[in-house]
Amino acid sequence: MSTDTTTPARPAPIEDSDTNWPAMLNEWAGDLWRRLHRGRHSDDWPPEWLIPAAGIAGVLLVALLLFGLVLPLLRWAGRLVVGTVDGGVDWLRDWNLTRVVLDPVRDYLTAHSAGLPINAETLWWTWCAAGVFLFLVATFWRAVAARLGWILFGAATTAMVWATTTGPARTTTAGIAALWWIALSLFALRRPWSQQKVTVHLPELPWLARILQRRE
């Protein structure tokens, strides 16, 4: 009986044919790839170093994405939010935009209060109280009369601003008054959130009932 004394072929050593480092790196990568390819067909696959290496590569990838993409995006969003808040605070502190509307209305009521049993100051505060009352009732109770009154209140306010302001700023002040009224009307004239369900009762169809009875 003959025995097979053939020894397994060993991988060819890396030939140092070129001392240039790119060539040496290329030969080393090729030899490593051949070793990995042979190891995939053996019982020792995957090698022990593959899982830690994959974990380290994943951690490095996550760190790269975190420090290269996520953190700059968060910093940009933070600066945007801070700038927006600062701008909103400055806008709230500046009451000149509201005075564009309130001062012409007050001047109009003062100029047209002659002959009334109340003075101009009382007339002014009555106008303001009426606007606040109509807005609250139209917003929270959604009364139809309050909504109609709010529409008339906004139209009258815009007309008083237009009539009192003179010069090229007349159109601008009237537009700002209309803008304020539209912004507040988003709450005062909004529709209810809950949708109403409509139940429709279909009429009886005797002929359909007879057809179904015949089929039974």
CA angle 97, 127, 161 (to 5 degrees): 45
Q: Where is pLDDT greater, at 216 or 137?
A: 137
pLDDT at 37: 65
Mean of all residue pLDDT scores within the chain? 79
- Binned at pLDDT 50, 70 and 90, residue 196 comes out as low
Segments making up each domain of the chain, as ranges: 28-90, 95-188
Closest CA to 39 of 48, 26, 52, 28: 48
pTM here is 0.52
CA angle 166, 171, 175 (to 5 degrees): 130
Q: Where is pLDDT greater, at 118 or 34?
A: 118
Going by the DSSP 8-state scheme, the letter that residue 15 receives in this structure is P
pLDDT at 65: 77
Dig out the tokens for 175 from the structure: 């537009």
pLDDT (tens digit per residue) in 43-70: 566 666 667 777 788 888 887 777 777 7
Q: Is the pLDDT of residue 81 over 90?
A: no
pLDDT (tens digit per residue) in 4-50: 555 555 555 545 555 677 777 777 777 777 776 665 555 566 666 66
Interacting residues of 67 by C-beta distance below 8 A, sequence separation 6+: none
pLDDT at 94: 65
Residue type, position 210, single letter: R
